Chains A and B, each alone.
Chain A
Amino acid sequence: MKTTKTTSAVQSVVNELTAELYLKSGSEKLGLTPEGLAEILSEVAEKHGGSGSEHELRTLLLSLRIDELALARACAAGHNTAWEIFLTRFREKLYRSALRIAREDSAARELADTLYADLYGTNLRGGQRVSKLASYTGRGSLEGWLRTVLAQEYVNRYRRTKRLVSLEEESEEGMHLVSPERTAPLAADARLTQTTDEALAGLPSEDRMILTAYYLDGRTLAEIARMVSVHESTISRKVDKLAKSLRKQILAGLARRGMSRRQAEEALETDVRDLQVDIRRSLTQDSATGAFPGKRVKARVREGQG
């Protein structure tokens, strides 16, 4: 019932807006018919229409990059005029984007050429040419979409390549000397884990994303700022603020769970896994500094357990 209602709302809004969007998109010179455009709009509305209210659908369709959507879909349908326009506008940009991603000319060319083949539709499905451009929905710019697709292709390639690293390369890098990862993490205090999970769950999604991008991915403040479209100094302040507030929240949570302040601070500062990491790092270092780092660490462990 809901699907039927949504579909009829979509059809109603599409019928209302097709004429206007057909003119706005310049579809005629690209070889698209009004019916063809209506079909595209229905598909996009069904996919991204949200709750399906007419108002939302209308807002969605009016916010689309309709001219680029028409161009992409006309290319996907095989219209030569559209493809010529596409090549004129995007060929060089695609290569430059690939170069920025791959940072190396031959890799960039390969990346761009592979994507071009996908865009043109060299793959056949049921005898029909399938173009990647048919999946573009106009929510963002076509240029931005092409960059995202390039990035996806690059990430996929890198992951495939990483899995296929040869044993010779591994031995060159000394990877065989690294002790195997623990199959299971050492059991930390369950209260610490629960409190930390609660503190992280209480953060807004954006804050969690910023923390992961900064502390896990090692992204720079500038990169993170671009990702969330804010000023770099905002990210800097936010990361500092989050780090401090997380610590406070975890300490408060541990106190609520019966730990004394001193115990909570020790639990937070002296994570067993930190000690393990330190030991491993110490053992693999060549320098003579820290003559007996292991002893110092053991002493701290004894204190913590006291």
Chain B
Amino acid sequence: MKNIPQIVHERLKAGAAVSGHPDANILTAFGECSLRESERVSVLAHLAACTECREIIALALLATEGTQPASVAARRAWFAWPALRWGFATAGVVVIALGIVEFERRQPVNSTAIVAKQITSAQPMTADLQNQTSSHALSTLPSTASQPEIAPSGAALAKKANPKLTERELRQQRTRKESEPKGPARLQPPSSELMASQQSAKAPAPVPASSRVVAGAQSPSVNVQTSETQVAQAPPGEQFLAYNSGPLSRAKPANTSAAQTNAADAILASPRWSITAAGGLQRSFDQGKTWQDVRVSASPTPAMAGNGMAMTSTVAKQQAVPGAAIETSVKAAATPVVFRAVTAAGNEIWAGGSSASLFHSIDGGDHWTRVLPSSSGTVLTGDVVSVEFSDPQHGTVTTSTPEIWSTSDGGQSWQKQ
């Protein structure tokens, strides 16, 4: 540290005459930065000349309880600098993006050419295709999505199952890609299952009802379908599955925005969800290497109890709240529902399927609660074919009838669109 000339030393010591020491209230307020600016300047002028008051301030600050050493406070303050905070955030995003790109590169590649060939092919999907694994789990973040995207392998498989539908979907998706931001959520399919579609995680404006026609089916074959897609009536024997994934699964394509990769990396740690061709729910804790069946029993259909409420007769575990949907707690039991849509955000899962089945879990699928949206005496009907939650509070459910139901309080109450 540079020394000052002795003359400066002497003149500082001489200083101005000290008048009127500030009282303890003012000195305390000075130390706590709660003085007016004019008062602060006045106190500083006094402190510059008064050794005793400087001593008092220094001692009072020394005695501050829980005061950390200045070096620690300095280190905290260092990280408080906005520039450094942003710098670290940016560096983190870059590292995550590089990691995801690297991870993506290491996945088995389904080339674009194969996809293109399959798209043009008129081969029906066969059961054999169900065994074709696609490790291309394309996932995007819910907050960024309104444009569904199809994994190459999923498109190939979907195309084989229902060429016309897939082509239409692909055409529509290509059109939408030009105008809408990307980022639907996707699932990584189980190794033994066909790749399913993706769905926008962000609830967009309601899609016209005509675009929501979905046909149920019994065959194990699967078609790709997105909630944003206008799909024609599926031929009999086809089963539509809508995989709506929240912020799940694997690395994104390299062209995904940094904002998406940032959250995607955090998502990699969450269990992944999928729906089998038979409508079963599955989850994976090891990023799709192995999958477990998750069986959710359909509890007795809840009875209606007024506007916006659904009650169960015997098994309700929550007190009815006016205007809210009552949830029936159910444990995973042996009666499967034919699921058509699932969306997940961490441990919060929404899954929907046949017969107005809509289930909610907040513990990663260990326990489920059935939810029956209702409003103005009307309850949800049909098969749930799409579930979208942009955040834990705001979600939309689409059925096969078609109906669109939305919630803004995490499923406590629902409105029919």
Contacts and interface: CB of A to CB of B under 8 A. Distances in A.
Given A50-B36, A232-B74, A205 B44 contact: yes
Interface in A189-219: 192-193, 196-197, 199-200, 204-206, 208-209, 211-217, 219
B31 A100 contact: no
Contact of A148 (B8, B31, B35, B38): B31
Nearest to B55: A155
Interface string B21-48: 0011111110111111011010011011
Interface of B is mostly: helix
Interface in A25-44: none
Contact of B54 (A197, A204, A212): A212
A68 to B, nearest CB: 11
Nearest to A98: B63
Contacts of A231: 74, 77-78
A145 interface: yes
B65 A149 contact: no
Interface stretch (A78-86, A221-229, A255-263, A283-291): A221-229
Nearest to B6: A271
Interface stretch (B10-18, B236-244, B308-316, B409-417): B10-18
Contacts of A139: 25-26, 28-29, 34-35
Interface size class of B (residues with CB under 8 A): 35 or more
A197 B16 CA distance: 10
Contacts of B33: 229
B4 A212 contact: no
Contacts of A98: 63
A293 interface: no
Contacts of A185: 10
A273 B6 contact: yes
A276 to B, nearest CB: 10
A73 B91 CA distance: 53
B63 A240 contact: no
Contact of A97 (B27, B34, B63, B69): B63
Contacts of A192: 7
B70 A148 contact: no
Interface stretch (A14-22, A121-129, A241-249): A241-249
Contacts of A204: 44
A151 interface: yes
Given A148-B27, A209-B48, A240 B56 contact: no
Contacts of A221: 70
A204 B5 CA distance: 19
A119 interface: no
B220 to A, nearest CB: 65
B385 to A, nearest CB: 54
A147 interface: yes
A208 B12 contact: yes
Contacts of B303: none
B58 A147 contact: no
A135 B11 contact: no
B32 A140 contact: yes
By Cβ-Cβ distance, the 7 closest A-B pairs, closest first, are: A222-B70, A140-B28, A205-B44, A151-B59, A208-B48, A97-B63, A243-B2
Given A145-B28, A208-B48, A212-B48, 13 more contacts: A48-B25, A135-B24, A140-B28, A141-B28, A144-B64, A147-B64, A151-B55, A209-B44, A213-B47, A217-B58, A220-B70, A222-B69, A231-B74
